[in-house]
Amino acid sequence: MALWKVLMENKAEEELTKLLKDKIITKSDIKVLLRWVSEMEEFGPKYIESSSEWHDHVLDREWIGYRSSAFSSTGRVIYKIIDDQIVVHVARVTADHNYKK
């Protein structure tokens, strides 16, 4: 049973759909993202943060309060943990290390 829930903003869903449609990310990237979601929901953010596989780190500047995890050499999922609760809020998915809001 999952202890955490990953939610995705509409903007992030739209970005992900466009990146896939434009062949900027692949179906393999989607599989990796789904594994990230699965691991986040099952084990929580501390596991993701401590795993060298995800290259997870804190963001700054306009992304203060957010974290980034890698799903490919350049692809990132930008997310925020809300109120230490069981919700992980995905704000953005980017294929090119672009952290601009």
**pLDDT (mean) for 65-92:** 79
Give the pLDDT of residue 87.
Answer: 60
Relative to beta strand 57-58, strand 87-94 is unpaired
Per CATH, domain 5-94 is 3.30.2310.20 = yes
Higher-pLDDT residue of 98, 46: 46
Rounded to 10°, the helix 10-21/27-43 angle is: 150
Pairwise CA distance, residues 59 & 18, whole Å: 24
Kindly state the helix (H) or strand (E) to which residue 14 belongs, with its residue range. helix 10-21
Listed in order, strand segments (DSSP E) in 1-101 are 5-8, 57-58, 67-70, 76-81, 87-94
What was the pLDDT predicted at 7? 85
Reported as a pLDDT band with limits 50, 70 and 90, residue 39 is very high
pLDDT confidence tier of residue 14, bands split at 50, 70 and 90: confident
Residue 24 CB contacts under 8 Å (≥ 6 apart), including other chains = 95, 96
- The domain segmentation of the chain, as residue ranges, is 5-94
